[in-house]
Amino acid sequence: KQEVTQIPAALSVPEGENLVLNCSFTDSAIYNLQWFRQDPGKGLTSLLLIQSSQREQTSGRLNASLDKSSGRSTLYIAASQPGDSATYLCAVSLIRGMRFGAGTRLTVKP
Amino acid sequence: DTEVTQTPKHLVMGMTNKKSLKCEQHMGHRAMYWYKQKAKKPPELMFVYSYEKLSINESVPSRFSPECPNSSLLNLHLHALQPEDSALYLCASSQAGFRNGYTFGSGTRLTVV
């Protein structure tokens, strides 16, 4: 069974720092990997989608990489802002639907 | 329209009640999903519909009954729920096929009393 792990579980940084969130998965037979943001009690907002054949995707201050062979993805956030505070979830697409990691809860302090 | 709309946003129901959750999208997506999310846990897949047909049921209890009346609508009928079913219920949609990203709704916060 596919296991998706996110490290760290929680992260607190001062405003302006660059940071990296990690995601690992046990089975490399994925179709794609998607990063989401979730604010408390809210739904999921898609940040970046990386196809299994791609190495990275960028959107604004966000950059996500994928190393399918080693079962790893990273989400890089540049120049963090208090508004970036949220839980960040990675999810891998399988035949039986998308499976999620437990998320990294990010707090950016002013 | 690039949104998935879920109604109601909040629902409180008794264990003997029957209620329904509704999900709607107008992006032309032909795959729709129900996920359940408990507090501080990741979303867990419940059901997958592809071209209006149920393709995956992740061994969900029969007190949850999904329905896909057309390509834009997905319902989740609830009956005789237990307090442990209290959770955030998320609907998502995507283009059919495994290579497409998901678009999620804002969820329905369900409380069973």
Span B30-41, pLDDT tens digits: 999 999 999 989
Give the distance from residue A85's alpha carbon to the nearest chain B alpha carbon, in angstroms.
Answer: 15
Mean pLDDT over residues A40-55, rounded? 94
Q: Is pLDDT above 80 for B2?
A: no
Cβ atoms of B78 and B61 closer than 8 Å: no
SS3 B85: helix
**For residues A69 and A28, what is the distance between their CA atoms, to the nearest angstrom?**
6
pLDDT number for residue A2: 80
Q: How many C-beta atoms surround the C-beta of residue A31 within 10 A?
A: 16
Per-residue pLDDT tens digits for B41-90: 999 999 999 999 999 999 999 999 999 999 999 999 999 999 999 999 99
Size of interface A-B (CB pairs under 8 A): 60
- Buried b vs exposed e over A14-29: b needs ≥16 C-beta within 10 Å? eeeeebebebbbeeee
> What are B98-108's pLDDT values in tens digits?
888 999 999 99
Q: Taking all residues of chain A, what is their mean pLDDT, rounded to a whole number? A: 95
A31 Cβ under 8 Å from any chain B Cβ: yes
Residue A66: strand pairing partners: A73
Q: How confident is the model at residue A33 (pLDDT cuts 50, 70, 90)?
A: very high
Residue A95: predicted pLDDT: 85
The distance of B53 to chain A (nearest Cα, Å) reads: 15
Backbone angles phi, psi at B43, to 5 degrees: -60, 140
pLDDT for the residue numbered A10: 96
Phi, psi of B60 (to 5 degrees): -80, 140
Degrees, nearest 5: CA angle B46-A90-A38: 80
Report the distance separating Cα A57 and Cα A94, nearest Å. Answer: 20
Two tokens, residue A39: 């604010």
pLDDT at A4: 95
pLDDT reading at A28 higher than 90: no
Q: Are B33 and B48 spatial neighbours (Cβ–Cβ below 8 Å)?
A: yes
Distances in whole angstroms, Cα of residue B36 to Cα of each of A23, A81, B42, B84 = 21, 30, 9, 12
Residue A109 has what pLDDT? Answer: 97
Q: CA B30, CA A37: separation in Å to the nearest integer?
A: 24
Mutation target among A98, A99, A104, A105 for the B interface, most CBs of B within 10 A? A98
- Give DSSP secondary structure letters for A76-98: EE-S--GGG-EEEEEEEEETTEE
